[in-house]
């Protein structure tokens, strides 16, 4: 694709460009490709919320259900000022292929509300979440569409959503995953995405034959995904040398003490100002001298413009869609290996699947079982993906889309959608 075209793609067009690319390689029928281009259903909801100061504010919320051939729609709910319909559509598409790649019995969906949760009170967020749930409850269900946390939402958000849904349909814990353990959430769900990221790093390091202690890692983002990646990868022996969050960034070539950092973040609310490291700029995290770079926050942070500055040899995509197609081309030309989001951050939705099965069976698994099953599925998916890439001579992202699209297409054929 010409660089000037790639540079102006919207998020959903970017994801689709990977699907088109896969469709060519796997000789996908034109009818099925046509069906995958647009979501099955998109809802836009007007969400009036009485703010604490007394005025009414109207938010806009979405739920995009991309493809349900493999099972009920599954995907998170994002609260972010940039969570517009196209971004949510892109993320819903990614969920379809992520669930297929991990062989979970789910389709793909995503929800979003354009808002800034950092500037809202708990009562406002509670009301917003309930209003959203009331507006879309008719398309949700344990066999229809199951939500989960994403950027800007957490276990508390899921608790409100479950409660609002339950008021209309009766107690239904399986309607959301990533809820508090006290309300039927799964042990290990909170750490699951970071655990999956760390497992991918460990598996790749093993393939390279390099001990984790010799691998310097830079992480962009210290929210749920970034912080758990640092903790768990740190425990595996990786050296975390740079971390950035929304308020600032820090670096220490000798390795950052994550336990000490966590104590600081609990007080300061940011990695910025931590005494055991030097301050650097956020942009400098992406260009930091390291071996593995883990974007674990916003999408589209690595573009055609700044991909040339990446010094890592491996990009581990903790965030969803952190690299634009033109950024991807630059990385590929520079032989930077990009381990794709649909594999790397799939630990979250995999434990969401375990949570959903526990809810359906009304039976709780101990933490060891959750972690053991996550480990087995991540390692199997990692090995399957790398084997496919080696067989076809493709890059990991290409192999991931080839496998994901193939599996979704087969379910479409078997159901007789086309």
Catalytic residues: 110
Q: What distances in angstroms separate CA 288 from CA 239, 241, 293, 320, one per listed residue? A: 13, 9, 8, 21
In whole angstroms, the minimum distance from the beta carbon of 353 to ligand GLU comes to 8
Range 211-270, binding ligand GLU (CB under 6 A): none
Build a one-symbol-per-residue string for 159-188: x at contacts with ligand GLU by CB under 6 A, - elsewhere. ------------------xx----------
Total residues in contact with ligand GLU, by rule CB under 6 A: 12
Question: Can you tell me the distance from the alpha carbon of 271 to that of 191, in angstroms, rounded to the nearest whole number?
Answer: 19
What count of other Cβ atoms lies within 10 Å of the Cβ of residue 221?
A: 26
What count of other Cβ atoms lies within 10 Å of the Cβ of residue 204?
A: 20
Build a one-symbol-per-residue string for 198-217: x at contacts with ligand GLU by CB under 6 A, - elsewhere. --------------------
Angle formed by the axes of helices 85-101 and 396-415, to 10°? Answer: 90
Per CB under 6 A, the list member of 39, 76, 152, 226 interacting with ligand GLU is 76
Contacts of 310 (CB under 8 A, 6+ apart): 286, 287, 293, 302, 331, 334, 336
Q: What distances in angstroms separate CA 303 from CA 287, 319, 321, 323, 344, one per listed residue? A: 12, 14, 11, 6, 19
Contact 215, 202 (CB under 8 A): no
What SS3 class is residue 120? coil
Whichever of 217 and 349 has its CB closer to ligand GLU, that residue is 349
Per CB under 6 A, the list member of 63, 74, 239, 407 interacting with ligand GLU is 74
Question: Can you tell me the distance from the alpha carbon of 157 to that of 193, in angstroms, rounded to the nearest whole number?
Answer: 18
Per CB under 6 A, the list member of 150, 300, 317, 328 interacting with ligand GLU is 150
Question: Can you tell me the distance from the alpha carbon of 62 to that of 77, in angstroms, rounded to the nearest whole number?
Answer: 9
In whole angstroms, the minimum distance from the beta carbon of 139 to ligand GLU comes to 15
Contacts of 182 (CB under 8 A, 6+ apart): none
Whichever of 189 and 231 has its CB closer to ligand GLU, that residue is 189
In whole angstroms, the minimum distance from the beta carbon of 183 to ligand GLU comes to 16
Residue 145 as a binder of ligand GLU (CB under 6 A): the answer is no
Taking CB under 6 A as the binding criterion, the range among 23-31, 49-57, 68-76, 213-221 that sits at the site for ligand GLU is 68-76
Per CB under 6 A, the list member of 6, 36, 83, 148 interacting with ligand GLU is 148
Whichever of 129 and 320 has its CB closer to ligand GLU, that residue is 320
Contacts of 306 (CB under 8 A, 6+ apart): 283, 286, 287, 327
Question: Can you tell me the distance from the alpha carbon of 126 to that of 254, in angstroms, rounded to the nearest whole number?
Answer: 43
C-alpha Rg value of the chain to the nearest Å: 20
Build a one-symbol-per-residue string for 315-354: x at contacts with ligand GLU by CB under 6 A, - elsewhere. -----x------------------------x--xx--x--
Contact 128, 157 (CB under 8 A): no
In whole angstroms, the minimum distance from the beta carbon of 74 to ligand GLU comes to 5
Taking CB under 6 A as the binding criterion, the range among 26-34, 74-82, 369-377, 384-392 that sits at the site for ligand GLU is 74-82
Per CB under 6 A, the list member of 39, 75, 108, 174 interacting with ligand GLU is 75
In whole angstroms, the minimum distance from the beta carbon of 354 to ligand GLU comes to 10
For ligand GLU, the binding residues (CB under 6 A) are: 74-76, 148, 150, 177-178, 320, 345, 348-349, 352
């Amino acid at each position: 694709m010409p660089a000037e075209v790639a540079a102006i793609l919207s998020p959903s067009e970017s994801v689709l460009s990977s699907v088109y690319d896969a469709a060519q390689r796997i000789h996908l029928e034109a009818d099925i490709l046509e069906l995958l281009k647009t979501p099955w259903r998109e809802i836009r909801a007007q969400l009036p919320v009485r703010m604490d100061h007394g005025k009414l504010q109207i938010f806009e919320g979405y739920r995009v259900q991309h493809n349900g051939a493999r099972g009920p729609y599954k995907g998170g709910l994002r609260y972010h000022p940039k969570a517009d319909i196209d971004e949510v559509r892109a993320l819903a598409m990614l969920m379809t292929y992520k669930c297929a790649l991990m062989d979970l019995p789910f389709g793909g969906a995503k929800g979003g509300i354009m808002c800034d949760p950092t500037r809202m009170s708990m009562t406002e967020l509670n009301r917003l979440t309930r209003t959203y749930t009331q507006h879309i409850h008719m398309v949700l269900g344990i066999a229809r569409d199951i939500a989960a946390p994403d950027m800007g939402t957490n276990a508390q958000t899921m608790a409100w959503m479950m409660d609002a849904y339950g008021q209309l349909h009766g107690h239904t814990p399986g309607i959301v995953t990533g809820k508090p353990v006290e309300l039927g959430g799964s042990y290990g769900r909170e750490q699951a995405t970071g655990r999956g990221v760390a497992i991918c790093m460990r598996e790749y390091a093993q393939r390279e034959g390099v001990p984790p202690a010799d691998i310097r890692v830079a992480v962009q983002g210290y929210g749920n995904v970034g912080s758990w990646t640092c903790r768990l990868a740190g425990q595996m022996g990786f050296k975390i040398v740079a971390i950035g969050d929304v308020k600032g960034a820090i670096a220490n070539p000798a390795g950052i003490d994550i336990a000490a950092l966590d104590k600081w973040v609990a007080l300061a609310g940011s990695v910025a100002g931590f005494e055991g490291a030097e301050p650097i700029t956020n942009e400098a995290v992406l260009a930091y001298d390291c071996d593995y770079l883990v974007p674990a926050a916003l999408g589209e942070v690595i573009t055609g413009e700044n991909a040339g500055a990446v010094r890592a040899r491996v990009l581990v995509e903790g965030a969803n869609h952190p690299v634009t197609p033109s950024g991807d081309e630059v990385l590929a030309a520079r032989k930077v290996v990009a381990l794709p989001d649909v594999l790397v951050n799939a630990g979250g939705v995999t434990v969401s699947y375990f949570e959903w099965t526990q809810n359906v069976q009304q039976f709780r698994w101990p933490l060891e079982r959750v972690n053991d099953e996550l480990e087995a599925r991540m390692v199997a998916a990692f090995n399957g993906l790398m084997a496919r890439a080696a067989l076809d001579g493709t890059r990991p992202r290409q192999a991931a889309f080839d496998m994901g699209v193939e599996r979704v297409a087969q379910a479409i054929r078997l159901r007789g959608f086309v």
